[in-house]
Structures are given as structure tokens and as C-alpha cells.
């Protein structure tokens, strides 16, 4: 029986097969991505460098002497590799458990293909058991929280946490996310919301899913 960490490592290793030569690739945030960064270090001579989605990933990339580029200097990014807190069968995701959702969404949007790497515990029928993270401008906290209650959720402020952009996170419990694209649009329209952790409009293109029986590649 493989541990969760061993499954994450198996997904990270498999994802190396998607890394094109001589490219700048996008990188997400989290424990699965950390393993991917460590694996990428072994083949860093093959790539030009990386656009990072968080200060935490940047620190790890720099420790491996992998060149980190500013997104504004990059015209083309063939792939973006990131984990997820939940991913459904349409490859819609909940992300932001690590609080890096906004930069992740920006870097993912600029990439041609989103490669999601995950262990089987993340693969779900319906999104929403994992509380949905929402990045919010601090002065809008109460207003946005009241609107989220109207949508049926129970928002909880993430304590002692600020995003890399200086904003707060509301983690929303008990949201029934039957229609992820609609829910993403609805929440993102609320004034004060920077973005929510639903990645449905820009879903994953490929899911590298590590299971006890082996690693599957789903599209």
C-alpha cells in the first residue's frame, strides 16, 4: 500500500513526460508540486526555466538553481503543472488550499496546457467537500461573507494568513457545487473578490492521477 506522499511522487514523476525541451513552463504550489520541482531539478538542463505561482515555489526553484522568469517577459508557455485540492471527472478543480490560487490562475491562463498532478484522494464526483478558498480584498471581508451565505455556504476566515498579494482568504464550507462554471462566475463577480479557487472555466487539460494500481493519464 503506497502512502499519500508516494502517490504524489508517482504523479510528479509521470508529469516529467509532458515537459517539452527548451521551454519556459509554469509551476503551481503545494506539496505535490514541491515533489515535481525536486524531480524537475534532475532535468533542468533540458528546459529554459519556469514561471512560478508563489513565493514558496520560487524559493524551492531557486534552491535548485532553476531559472525563474517574470510572467511579463514570457510570450509562450506550453504547459502549466499544478496540484489540486479536488478534481472532478470533467477536470474542473478546487484549488487554493495553499492560498496561491490567484497567481496560479494567472499563470495557468497564460499556458497552453494545464497538467494537473494528484493522488487518488483528490478525485471526486462532486466538488465542494473541500472548503472553497476565495481570495478577498480585506475591506470587503464582511460584505463578501454575507453574499456567500446567501449562496448557501459557510465562510470562515483563514486566520493568521495573508496571500502573496496581501489579501485574506475565506474558506467556504458546505457549498453544493453542482455547476462549477456558473458558481465560479457568480463568486468572481462579487465586488471585493479577487478570485475564487474554482478552476472550471480554465479546467485542467490533462490529469495525471496516481492510484494504488498505477498512474493514469486522463483527458
Ligand X SMILES: O=C(CO)[C@H](O)[C@H](O)COP(=O)(O)O
Please name every residue paired with 119 in a beta bridge, in sequence order, or none if there are none: 210
| 104: annotated active-site residue | yes
Asked if residue 32 belongs to a known ligand binding site, the reply is yes
Is position 49 annotated in a ligand binding site?
Answer: no
Q: E-assigned strands of the chain?
A: 24-27, 49-52, 68-69, 79-82, 86-87, 93-94, 113-119, 132-136, 154-157, 168-173, 193-196, 198-199, 206-211, 214-218
Q: 31 labelled as ligand-binding? A: yes
Q: Which residue has the cell 494504488?
A: 212
Collapse the DSSP code of 93 into the 3-class scheme (helix H, G, I; strand E, B; otherwise coil) and give the result. Answer: strand
Find the shortest distance in angstroms from Cβ 58 to ligand X: 14
Of residues 17, 55, 76, 104, which has the active-site annotation? 104
- Which positions touch ligand X (CB under 6 A)? 28-32, 82-85, 95-101, 104
Q: Binding site for substrate: which residues?
A: 29-32, 82-85, 95-98, 122
Q: Binding site: which residues?
A: 29-32, 82-85, 95-98, 122
Residues tagged active-site: 104
Amino acid at each position: 500500500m503506497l502512502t499519500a506522499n508516494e502517490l504524489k511522487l508517482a504523479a510528479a514523476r509521470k508529469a516529467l513526460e509532458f515537459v517539452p525541451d527548451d521551454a519556459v513552463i509554469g509551476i503551481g504550489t503545494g506539496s505535490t508540486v514541491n515533489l515535481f520541482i525536486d524531480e524537475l531539478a534532475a532535468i533542468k538542463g533540458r528546459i529554459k526555466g519556469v514561471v512560478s505561482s508563489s513565493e514558496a515555489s520560487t524559493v524551492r526553484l531557486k534552491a535548485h538553481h532553476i531559472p525563474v522568469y517574470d510572467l511579463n517577459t514570457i510570450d509562450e508557455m506550453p504547459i502549466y503543472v499544478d496540484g489540486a485540492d479536488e478534481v472532478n471527472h470533467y477536470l474542473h478543480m478546487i484549488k487554493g488550499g495553499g492560498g496561491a490560487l490567484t497567481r496560479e490562475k494567472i499563470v495557468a491562463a497564460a499556458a497552453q496546457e494545464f497538467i494537473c498532478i494528484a493522488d487518488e484522494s483528490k478525485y471526486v464526483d462532486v466538488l465542494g467537500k473541500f472548503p472553497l478558498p476565495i481570495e478577498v480584498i480585506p475591506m470587503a471581508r464582511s460584505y463578501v461573507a454575507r453574499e456567500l451565505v446567501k449562496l448557501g455556504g459557510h465562510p470562515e476566515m483563514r486566520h493568521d494568513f495573508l496571500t502573496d498579494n496581501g489579501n485574506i482568504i475565506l474558506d467556504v464550507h458546505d457549498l453544493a457545487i453542482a455547476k462549477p462554471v456558473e458558481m465560479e462566475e457568480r463568486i468572481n463577480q462579487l465586488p471585493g473578490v479577487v478570485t475564487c479557487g474554482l478552476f472550471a472555466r480554465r479546467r485542467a487539460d490533462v490529469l495525471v492521477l496516481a492510484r494504488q494500481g498505477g498512474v493514469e493519464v486522463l483527458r
